[in-house]
Amino acid sequence: MDAAQDSHQTAGGLPRRLCYFNAGFLCDRRLRRILHLAGHELVAGRAAGADAVAVWGRSPYAARGEAAASAQGLPILRVEDAFLRSLRPGRAGDAPLGLLLDDMGVHFDAGSPSRLEHLLATHGLDDSNLLMRARDGIARLRGSHLSKYNIHDPELPPPPAGYVLVVDQTQGDASIRHGGASATTFAEMLTAARLDHPQAPILIKIHPETRLGLRPGHFGPQDCDARTRLFNDPVSPHDLLDGAIAVYTVSSQLGFEAILAGHRPQVFGQPFYAGWGLTADRQPLVRRRRKLTPAQLFAAAMILAPVWYDPCRDRLCRFETVLDQLEAETRAWREDRRGHVATGMRLWKRGALQGFFGQSVPLRFRDPPDRAAALAARRDRPLLIWAGQEPEGFAPPVPLRRVEDGFLRSRGLGAELVPPLSLVTDDLGIYYDPSRESRLERLIRAPLPAGGAARAERLIASLTGARISKYNLGGALPELPRDGRQVILVPGQVEDDASIRLGCGATRSNRALLQAARAAHPGALIVYKPHPDVEAGLRPGAVAATDLEGCADFVARHADPIALIEQADEIWTLTSLLGFEALLRGKAVTCLGAPFYAGWGLTTDLGPMPERRLRAPDGHPLPRVTLTQLAYAALIAYPRYHDPISRRPCPPEVIVERLAEGRLPHPGLTNRLLAKAQGALASQSWIWRRQ
């Protein structure tokens, strides 16, 4: 379970029974849910018996609640969005991921101290763990290109570096008026930027809501000249900040992010981040005298002050959990926002594929691949193809991604038509084909992001502690003979599996694998586990009883694979994912093929191995990959996950929890009937494998 959230807001002291007088508190389900989880009871329009009146910040509708509070002598609790809000702005329909609850004021109103200002002024902000989390959080926000709103495209190139960035805001924004500024201040700011930097180009950054046509800003074409232009492209704000030589703002959150990027922004209003020694303040606030570091500012504003909400698990959470969730949602939006044409997808999978890739724009399915490629070119959409369905020499005129099941797939077999919880997409190759580089290989070699090692280690501990595997079939728990011999587990595979066809040398059958294991360990206890698809008669790979004699001492039929791994000393495999699952559990693994987890120094490799995994182009040996790097790439960075309960993109931690708790919807009736039919027609698999 996720730890309780850090905020002092839920630690007691804030009013609990809240009355309200505007429809937002009645209609916004997410707002009501977060307040409820934070311990507040909402009552519409009745001050009697209430502890306080809830109002939304300094909105025009707050006056009703303020008047009622004054008449009844009640305190006011002001509610505002946290600084990491959602994918799209609230006016575009997205619910917030966090709130700021303030019984003193509101963070953007410089007229009086707010709860956040009090925190910044009085909290020690010197705990080493807190500051480490803050530094990691800053790095993750910048590395993942996350901001308050996130409908920007990190792949868009920023302008050539060397410009002055002037930040626009929407007209009527309460942070302007209550931050000691006005519309005139924006004109003064632009004039100051021109005078301070007489030779530099000036970019006026348009607000995301203005770009969407939701609210007008303060600048327009009349403010442009030979070196001043409006910048409306959805470039990552972090990339924009990195290319700027100076940043000018009134009270925008981009000024806060400028501090995190190493700038000392010129600030013309009085936002929450001004006055702490990190900004050049044109209107200093004399009551703010403390000097803070960027990490301390971040710790208070992003970790301690907000109440954060996990929409998949429906509970309050820590800041890092919201980061995990928003990373998953923004990745899905960035990859899918143009829509896709999909080909080579079996009929029963298409509903699940829509859930993964069709939430922004519905998928268009088209077969065969050449017709799909033509449609994708006409629609200017990327093409998705199920890995293994790609014709030889296929070169569509649009970006192509290959799709496959992820490594935490489901509770039940794909061959039994159980929908997946994770899928991978690969624009270079596919993880089971060592003949060409895959995106997973690059991710395995990539440096871990801030906090990535700790996150991967926690994930490993969670899935091993919950005994999670790819299919989570359970099964019998065999007690192996314990006579002092070394226990070698040999997992059988489907012998026409693409990973064997593409990733094995001379040894490519279950029989040959058993013979090799016996030859290397003549005195060991060799345990053979047939593949569940083979046991069900759905796929080829059965080993005759006569061939098992002398090679296998124990055949673990319908056995729990995790129980077998736990009892084994070593695993011998061709390319089975059980080898990866054994590595996660600290077991020795010998590979006779080239699965994605081999060739990095973690396994004993007896099969053909791609040279690129072993040596750099100059011939020098590459450094060994750690298990943490491998797990981060394979379980966090490479796959995409879809939560079947909330029906939204999610991080792997949610899926591990769902699998551990068993809270998964059953396959639909159609899938269950098809699964029964294919079992009855197992000997005619050419029929059902086309569906």
- Specify the length of the chain in residues: 691
Q: Which of 412, 533, 536, 418 is nearest to 473 (CA)?
A: 412
pLDDT value for 687: 43
pLDDT value for 1: 44
Query: Which residues lie below 8 Å from residue 10, measured CB to CB, with a gap of 6+?
Result: 4, 38, 39, 307, 316
pLDDT value for 535: 81
For residue 680, pLDDT over 60 is answered with no
DSSP labels, 361-416: S--EE-SSHHHHHHHHHHHT--EEEETT-PPTT---SS-EEEEEE-SS--SS-GGG
Q: Is the pTM of this model over 0.85?
A: yes
Quote the Cα angle for 400-403-407, to 5°.
Answer: 145
For residue 678, pLDDT over 70 is answered with no
Question: Across residues 242-252, what is the average pLDDT?
Answer: 98
Per mean pLDDT, which range of 39-48, 172-181, 329-338 is the poorest? 39-48
For residue 392, pLDDT over 90 is answered with yes
pLDDT value for 684: 45
For residue 671, pLDDT over 80 is answered with no
Question: Across residues 227-244, what is the average pLDDT?
Answer: 97
The pLDDT > 90 percentage for the chain reads: 83
Mean pLDDT in the chain? 92
440-476 confidence digits (pLDDT tens): 999 999 999 999 999 999 999 999 999 999 888 778 8
For residue 4, pLDDT over 80 is answered with no
145-196 confidence digits (pLDDT tens): 999 999 999 999 999 999 999 999 999 999 999 999 999 999 999 999 999 9
For residue 43, pLDDT over 60 is answered with yes
Q: Which of 219, 116, 124, 212 is nearest to 165 (CA)?
A: 219
Per mean pLDDT, which range of 34-48, 89-103, 415-429, 665-679 is the poorest? 665-679
Do residues 330 and 144 make contact, with C-beta atoms less than 8 angstroms apart?
yes
109 vs 105: CA distance, rounded Å:
7
401-412 confidence digits (pLDDT tens): 999 999 999 887
115-154 confidence digits (pLDDT tens): 999 999 999 999 999 999 999 999 999 999 999 999 999 9
pLDDT interval class at 418 (50, 70, 90): confident
541 vs 490: CA distance, rounded Å:
13
Highest mean pLDDT among 10-24, 316-330, 657-671: 316-330
Q: Which domains does the chain have, with CATH numbers?
A: 154-289 (3.40.50), 452-672 (no CATH)
pLDDT value for 688: 39
Per mean pLDDT, which range of 379-393, 528-542, 546-560 is the poorest? 528-542
270 vs 489: CA distance, rounded Å:
66
630 vs 441: CA distance, rounded Å:
9
Do residues 343 and 368 make contact, with C-beta atoms less than 8 angstroms apart?
yes
For residue 290, pLDDT over 80 is answered with yes
